[in-house]
C-alpha cells in the first residue's frame, strides 16, 4: 500500500552497530518499496462488504492488513445495500459478499475480477474464499458431545448457504454417534441474512417459543449465528426455559458485543473472518497477476479459529445436579489455579463422595479431570493460534508457573508444548 506519510523513513539514532545494520536494512527495504511503488500504476480495490456486523468488519480488517503489503493498492469501500456502479467501474478488482443474484449481476457488469467471500452458490466468473462452515458445525457437535449431551438441536435459516453447511457438519458428527438433531429453520427468501440488524424482524418468536418448549430438558442448541443464539436465549427465558440449566446455546461469529451483552453471555465459534479477508485479498492479488482468461479455482475454505466459551454452554448434561454444577464451575475457572478441594467446597459434600461420583461418571478423580480440561484447552489454543506464546497459554489455563505447565503438558500429552 502506498505510504501515507509521503514515503519518508523516520530517522532513527542508534549507537549499536548490530541495531544500526538492522535499521539500515529496514530503510533500504522501504526505499525499494517506494521505488517499486513509483513504477507501479495505482491499483484501486473495491471492498463491497457490510460494516454493520462484527464478521463484516473483521473481513474488511483482513483485507486491509494484506493491502499493507501492496504499496500500489488503494482500498475503496462500497455499501452492499446500495452499490455505486460508477465507482466499481473505476476499480481494478473487487472483494465482495455476493448475497443475491442482482448483486452478482451488478458486480459482473463492472467487468472486473471478483473475489466472493460469501459463496452462497457457485457463480460463473467469480473466485471464492469463505469460512469452512462444515468444520464449524463439526466443532459445535464435538463440543456438546464432550459435555455429554445426547439431545441436540439446530436453529438456522432455510435458503442460506452458511446455515445449511453448518448444519451439515453438525449433523454429520452427531449421526455417526447415532444422534439425530432436532431442527428449527426460519424461511429466508434470499441470501440476505447478513443484512439483518434485528433477528426478531424475521423470526416468528411464537413459533420459536413453541419449538423451544417442546425440547427435552438438557438439550444442546447450536444456532446458525450469534443473532439467532441471542434470540433463542431471550425466547427461551420468556417460556421459563433457562440457559444453560435447561438448554445450552452456542452461536457462530463471536460477535463480542452481541455475545457479552446478551441476557446470558453467549458461547460462540470464531470463524476467523480476519483470515478470510486476508486470504481473499491475497487471492485477488494473484488473479490480477494472471492471464485474464484463467478460470476460477474451487472455493478456498479457511479453518475456523476455535470456540470461545461463555455462560450459555457452561453446563454439562450430567446427574446428579451438583455434579453438573461442579463441571460447569471447572469450565468457568479455566484461567485460575484450581484444585480438587475447590471442587469439593463447591459441591458441599465430602471429598470421598465427590471423588467417588467423579470416578463413577467420568472415570477419573476431580484433580485429574481438572488437569484434562486445562490440557485439552491448552492444546486447542496452541493449534488454533500460532501467534500465541506458550507462556501466554499457560497463564490462560491457570498455570502461573511456566515450568509447572510444561511438566503437566508433557505428562498429559507425552511431549512438550510446541515452542516451549
Burial of 288 (0-12, 13-18, 19+ CB in 10 A): middle
Give yes or no for residue 226 having a pLDDT over 80: yes
Q: Identify any residues that bridge with 363 across adjacent strands, giving them in sequence order.
A: none
Are the C-beta atoms of 230 and 261 separated by less than 8 Å? Answer: no
For residue 157, the surrounding DSSP H or E stretch is strand 151-158
Determine the Cα–Cα distance for residues 221 and 181; give it in Å rounded to an integer: 9
Are the C-beta atoms of 75 and 63 separated by less than 8 Å? Answer: yes
Same-fold call for 135-268 versus 321-413: no
CA distances (Å), origin 210, targets 99, 228, 411: 31, 16, 49
The mean pLDDT value for 349-368 works out to 95
For residue 173, the surrounding DSSP H or E stretch is helix 161-176
Q: Identify any residues that bridge with 187 across adjacent strands, giving them in sequence order.
A: 158
Domain ranges in the chain? 1-39, 44-132+274-302, 135-268, 321-413
Report the pLDDT value the prediction gives residue 277, as an integer from 0 to 100: 98
321-413 has which fold? Answer: Arc Repressor Mutant, subunit A (1.10.10)
Summarised one tens digit per residue, pLDDT across range 89-101 is 999 999 999 988 8
Are the C-beta atoms of 83 and 48 separated by less than 8 Å? Answer: yes
For residue 275, the surrounding DSSP H or E stretch is helix 273-289
Summarised one tens digit per residue, pLDDT across range 122-133 is 888 899 999 999
Summarised one tens digit per residue, pLDDT across range 33-75 is 444 544 467 899 999 999 988 999 999 999 999 999 998 999 9
- Cell 451438583: give the residue: 322
- Banded model confidence at residue 16, pLDDT cuts 50, 70, 90: very low
Query: In the CATH scheme, what architecture does the domain 44-132+274-302 have?
Result: 3-Layer(aba) Sandwich (3.40)
CATH homologous superfamily for the domain 135-268: Response regulator (3.40.50.2300)
CA distances (Å), origin 13, targets 209, 335, 370, 406: 67, 42, 52, 40
Q: Are strands 151-158 and 306-308 parallel, antiparallel or unpaired?
A: unpaired
Amino acid at each position: 500500500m502506498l505510504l501515507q506519510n509521503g514515503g519518508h523513513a523516520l530517522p532513527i539514532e542508534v549507537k549499536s552497530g548490530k541495531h544500526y545494520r538492522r535499521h539500515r536494512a529496514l530503510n533500504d527495504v522501504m526505499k525499494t518499496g517506494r521505488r517499486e511503488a513509483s513504477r507501479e500504476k495505482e491499483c484501486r480495490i473495491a471492498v463491497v462488504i457490510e460494516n454493520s456486523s462484527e464478521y463484516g468488519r473483521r473481513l474488511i480488517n483482513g483485507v486491509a492488513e494484506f493491502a499493507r503489503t501492496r504499496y500500489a493498492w488503494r482500498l475503496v469501500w462500497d455499501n452492499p445495500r446500495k452499490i455505486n456502479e460508477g465507482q466499481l467501474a473505476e476499480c481494478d478488482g473487487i472483494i465482495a459478499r455476493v448475497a443475491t443474484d442482482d448483486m452478482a449481476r451488478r458486480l459482473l457488469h463492472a467487468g472486473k475480477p471478483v473475489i466472493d467471500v460469501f459463496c452462497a452458490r457457485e457463480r460463473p466468473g467469480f473466485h471464492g474464499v469463505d469460512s469452512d462452515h462444515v468444520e464449524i458445525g463439526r466443532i459445535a457437535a464435538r463440543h456438546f458431545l464432550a459435555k455429554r449431551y445426547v439431545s441436540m438441536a439446530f436453529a438456522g435459516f432455510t435458503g442460506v448457504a452458511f446455515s445449511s453447511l453448518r448444519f451439515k457438519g453438525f449433523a454429520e458428527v452427531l449421526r455417526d454417534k447415532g444422534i439425530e438433531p432436532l431442527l428449527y429453520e426460519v424461511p429466508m427468501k434470499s441470501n440476505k441474512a447478513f443484512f439483518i440488524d434485528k433477528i426478531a424482524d424475521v423470526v416468528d418468536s411464537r413459533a420459536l417459543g413453541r419449538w423451544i418448549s417442546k425440547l427435552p430438558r438438557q438439550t444442546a442448541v447450536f444456532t446458525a449465528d450469534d443473532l439467532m443464539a441471542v434470540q433463542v436465549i431471550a425466547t427461551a427465558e420468556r417460556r421459563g426455559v433457562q440457559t444453560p440449566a435447561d438448554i445450552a446455546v452456542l452461536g457462530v461469529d463471536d460477535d463480542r458485543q452481541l455475545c457479552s451483552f446478551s441476557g446470558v453471555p453467549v458461547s460462540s465459534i470464531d470463524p476467523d473472518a480476519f483470515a478470510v479477508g486476508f486470504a481473499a485479498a491475497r487471492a485477488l492479488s494473484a488473479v490480477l497477476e494472471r492471464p485474464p482468461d484463467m478460470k476460477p479455482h474451487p472455493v478456498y475454505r479457511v479453518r475456523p479459529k476455535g470456540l470461545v466459551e461463555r455462560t450459555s454452554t457452561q453446563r454439562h448434561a450430567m446427574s446428579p445436579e451438583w455434579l453438573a454444577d461442579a463441571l460447569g464451575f471447572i469450565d468457568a475457572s479455566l484461567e485460575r489455579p484450581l484444585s480438587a478441594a475447590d471442587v469439593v467446597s463447591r459441591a458441599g459434600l465430602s471429598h470421598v463422595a465427590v471423588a467417588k461420583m467423579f470416578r463413577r461418571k467420568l472415570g477419573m478423580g476431580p484433580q485429574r479431570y481438572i488437569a484434562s480440561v486445562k490440557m485439552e484447552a491448552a492444546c486447542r489454543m496452541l493449534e488454533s493460534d500460532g501467534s500465541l506464546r506458550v507462556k501466554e497459554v499457560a497463564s490462560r489455563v491457570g498455570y502461573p508457573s511456566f515450568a509447572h505447565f510444561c511438566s503437566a503438558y508433557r505428562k498429559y500429552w507425552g511431549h512438550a508444548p510446541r515452542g516451549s
